[in-house]
Amino acid sequence: MIKGDYKTLKRVLTLTLALAIVAGGYMFEANGAGEQPSKQAPSISEINIYTPKELNARQKDLVEIGRYTASGDQGALKSTIASAIERGTLTPQEVSIAIRQLYSAAGLKQMNAALATFDQLREERPEFGADYEKMVPKQTGLSALLGNGTNGAALTKQKTEEAKEGVQYNTFRMKKPKPQNRNRSRLGKLDRELVAAAALGTRVGKNNLFSASEKSLSELGLSKYQIENLESMIFE
Amino acid sequence: MRLRRKPWIDEAIHEYDSHIILSGHEEHKGKWRELFAHPERPLYMELGTGKGRFIAGMSEAYPDANFVGFEVQLGVIYYAAQKIFEGERDNAKVCLFDIAGIEEVVEPGEVDRFYINFCDPWPKAKHAKRRLTYHTFLDRYARLLKDGGEVHFKTDNEGLFMFSLEEFKECGWELKNVTYDLHSTDLPNVKTEYEEKFSKKGQPIFRLEAVKPKVQKEA
């Protein structure tokens, strides 16, 4: 008899506990308490002690390059590039990469015009160094045997031009830098997004496309102040 | 620059005692200018003088500045002292010392400009901290330089130059006159032995000027 009571009491207690857990959980959800921490959590930029208030010098130069490429202001583009290289904020290779990847954001025509301006600048200012992007890759395999095709044609053209001007082909100088060295001067994802956003903003204005680009920049780590700075630079 | 050991240099170097400091460097800490006839003039230091063509040329081109060159190898610094001595330069001296310990012999804020020419690029990534433009070295230079002091850096190694650009920028130095082919500019330049050799082969010379950051790290 006592044994049976104990079993019943145990069952009742277990059921009560289970009901309390279920009801408690339901009430917690009903109050919206489960969602509160994420809603009330401060943004990353507020937590960070150091939040950049504006774009740095390198980013500003990239924005200017994107802006002038899209607007087609070749004079301003030229002076911006020259100043960026002299101040070391961007290397010539980085400028070249930044312009080359603007074909969709700024348009092919504008990109080609900007590249032509940069080439002109390089001719005027030889201290900006050789354009490694344009260098002819070493021929290997079938193309080396046949001596024609894209690589072969480019090589022949280059040699002909040099022969005309009487310039000796300097293999030591024309050697491409090693990949581990080249990678140091590559544009990062944020830089590429930034220059594209600047070109896009200049070209299409403040519409949905530009907002999407801004969101992407924010995800890549740009603070809201920096995005405001970007907007003020483009839409000033 | 590593040369074969020449035992005769141990004796011969004393001919140029007036232009070379072989020991007792700590005594000159904070007093490097007093070694010269005109201590009021700016003090420029070359880190890694080699055979001294640069320091001899610079002391001649800029008589209104005092120059001190540091070099760790006796067999090399002999030629630097010889050049300065034979050029009768009273505004330049060379010092046999390893610049890894430069803070032991130079007082903070004592120097106006550092020159680093064609230093060892230490191409392996694991040796990056030995490069003279590694951020720990840059912090040391910043402490030893006056406000507005500069570092002038020249190299033929593109990898080292790109690395240095990043390091200078990350440490907050302001860059100017960055060139990727120095010899095609009209910037004033005194060629080093190494520069002469490699530019003849068509190798471009990279150069930058960096101004000390306004806010600097504590030691």
Q: Work out the percent of chain A whose per-residue pLDDT is above 70.
A: 63
| CATH number (domain holding residue B24) | 3.40.50.150
Pairwise CA distance, residues A73 & A84, whole Å = 16
- C-beta neighbour count of B143 within 10 angstroms: 19
Q: Which residue of A has its CA nearest to B199?
A: A173
Q: Total domain count for chain A?
A: 1
For the record, the structure tokens of A99 come out as 């312009």
Pairwise CA distance, residues B125 & A180, whole Å = 10
- Considering the domain boundaries, does residue A152 fall inside one? no
- Considering the domain boundaries, does residue A158 fall inside one? no
* Mean pLDDT in residue range B9-29: 84
Distances (CA, A) of B192 to A125, B75, B153: 24, 17, 13
- Considering the domain boundaries, does residue B217 fall inside one? no
Residue located via tokens 């032995």: B193
> Could you tell me which residues come within 8 angstroms of residue B29 by beta carbon, excluding any fewer than 6 positions away?
B104, B105, B106, B107
Q: Total domain count for chain B?
A: 1
Q: Work out the percent of chain B whose per-residue pLDDT is above 70.
A: 96
- Considering the domain boundaries, does residue B2 fall inside one? no
| H or E element at residue B169 | helix B158-170
Average pLDDT, chain A: 76
Structure confidence at residue B59 (pLDDT)? 92
3-state secondary structure of B147: strand
CA distance A29 to chain B (A): 48
- Residues of B marked as catalytic: 120
Structure confidence at residue A47 (pLDDT)? 58
Do B162 and A181 lie within an 8 Å CB cutoff? yes
Pairwise CA distance, residues B197 & B204, whole Å = 11
Q: Dihedral sign for Cα A224, A227, A229, A235, please.
A: negative
Minimum-distance CB partner of A91 among B165, B176, B204: B165
Do B177 and A58 lie within an 8 Å CB cutoff? no
Residue A14 has pLDDT above 90, yes or no: no
Which stretch of A91-100, A144-153, B18-27, B196-205 has the lowest confidence by average pLDDT? A144-153
Q: Dihedral sign for Cα B34, B35, B40, B44, please.
A: negative
pLDDT band at A170 (very low <50, low <70, confident <90, very high): very low
Pairwise CA distance, residues B25 & B32, whole Å = 9
pLDDT band at A98 (very low <50, low <70, confident <90, very high): very high
Do B178 and A178 lie within an 8 Å CB cutoff? no
Q: What is the 3-class SS of chain A, one letter each residue?
A: CHHHHHHHHHHHHHHHHHHHHHHHHHHHHHCCHHHHHHHHCCCHHHHCCCCCCCCCHHHHHHHHHHHHHHHCCHHHHHHHHHHHHHCCCCCHHHHHHHHHCCCCCCCHHHHHHHHHHHHHHHHHCHHHCCCHHHCCCCCCHHHHHHCCHHHHHHHHHHHHHHHHHCCCCCHHHHCCCCHHHHHHHCCCHHHHHHHHHHHHHHHHCCCHHHHHHHHHHHHCCCCHHHHHHHHHHHCC
Which residues on chain B are in Cβ contact (under 8 Å) with A50? Answer: none
Closest by CA position to B22, among listed B6, B31, B9: B9
Q: At what angle do helices A108-124 and A74-86 cross, to 10 degrees?
A: 50
| CATH number (domain holding residue A100) | 1.20.1290.10
The per-residue pLDDT for range A203-236, each reduced to its tens digit, is 988 888 888 988 999 898 888 889 999 999 988 7
Residue A134 has pLDDT above 80, yes or no: no
Residue A166 has pLDDT above 50, yes or no: no
The per-residue pLDDT for range B132-170, each reduced to its tens digit, is 999 999 999 999 999 999 999 999 988 899 889 989 988
Do B203 and A130 lie within an 8 Å CB cutoff? no
Closest by CA position to B190, among listed B36, B87, B37: B87
pLDDT band at A169 (very low <50, low <70, confident <90, very high): very low
Do B181 and A180 lie within an 8 Å CB cutoff? no
Contact A135, A176 (CB under 8 A): yes
- Considering the domain boundaries, does residue B33 fall inside one? yes
pTM: 0.73
The per-residue pLDDT for range B60-119, each reduced to its tens digit, is 999 999 999 999 888 888 889 999 988 888 899 999 999 888 999 999 999 999 999 999
A→B interface, C-beta within 8 Å? 58, 85-89, 91-92, 126-130, 170, 172-173, 177-178, 180-181, 184-185
Q: Which residue of A has its CA nearest to B174?
A: A87
CA distance A47 to chain B (A): 23
Note down the domain range covering A114: 54-127+188-236
Pairwise CA distance, residues B162 & A91, whole Å = 8
Q: Which of residues 135-174 of B touch A (CB under 8 A)?
A: 158-159, 162-163, 165-166, 168-169, 174
CA distance B28 to chain A (A): 35
Average pLDDT, chain B: 89
Order of strands across the sheet that contains B92-96: B20-21, B92-96, B66-71, B43-47, B111-117, B145-155, B206-211, B174-179
CA distance B44 to chain A (A): 23
pLDDT band at A139 (very low <50, low <70, confident <90, very high): low
Q: State how beta strands B92-96 and B20-21 pair.
A: parallel
* Mean pLDDT in residue range B18-35: 88
Do A173 and B208 lie within an 8 Å CB cutoff? no
pLDDT band at A161 (very low <50, low <70, confident <90, very high): low
Question: Between B149 and A164, where is the model more confident?
Answer: B149
* Mean pLDDT in residue range A56-65: 93
Pairwise CA distance, residues A77 & A73, whole Å = 6
Note down the domain range covering B137: 9-211
Question: Between B196 and A53, where is the model more confident?
Answer: B196
- Considering the domain boundaries, does residue A111 fall inside one? yes
